[in-house]
Amino acid sequence: MTSNDIYKKVLQAISEERGLKALHQRYQLKDAIMRMGPAGFAFENYIASILEYYDYRVTGIRSKIHGKCATHEIDLIGSKDDREFLIECKYHSLRGAYVGLKESLYTHARFLDLQPKFSGEVVFCNTKISNHAKKYAKCVGQQIFSWRYPATNSLEKIIEKHNLYPITILNLSQNELGIFSECNLMIAKDLLRYDEAKIARMTGISKKRIKNLQKLVEGIFYPK
CA 178 to chain centre: 15
Among the listed ranges 101-109, 148-156, 180-188, 212-220, the one in contact with a second copy (CB under 8 A) is: 101-109
State which residue, 20 or 101, has the beta carbon closest to a second copy: 101
Query: What's the min distance (Å) between Cβ of 137 and a second copy?
Result: 8
Query: What's the min distance (Å) between Cβ of 104 and a second copy?
Result: 8
Sheet arrangement for strand 120-125: 57-66, 71-80, 83-90, 120-125, 143-145
50 to 89: interface string for a second copy, x by CB under 8 A: ------------------xxxxx-----------------
Backbone φ, ψ for residue 59 (5° rounding):
-100, -5
State which residue, 127 or 168, has the beta carbon closest to a second copy: 127
Q: Does residue 97 interact with a second copy by CB under 8 A?
A: no
Nearest CA-CA partner of 165 in 61, 17, 24, 39: 24
Nearest CA-CA partner of 180 in 202, 148, 213, 151: 202
Query: What's the min distance (Å) between Cβ of 78 and a second copy?
Result: 21
What's the first-to-final CA gap in the chain, in angstroms?
Answer: 28
Scanning the chain, the segments in alpha helix (DSSP H) are 3-16, 21-34, 41-53, 101-113, 131-140, 155-161, 174-182, 196-203, 207-221
Among the listed ranges 14-22, 108-116, 117-125, 146-154, the one in contact with a second copy (CB under 8 A) is: 108-116
Binding positions for a second copy, 119-148, rule CB under 8 A: 132, 135-136, 139-140
Among the listed ranges 45-53, 77-85, 99-107, 189-197, the one in contact with a second copy (CB under 8 A) is: 99-107
Site for a second copy, rule CB under 8 A: 68-72, 101-103, 105-106, 108-110, 112-113, 132, 135-136, 139-140
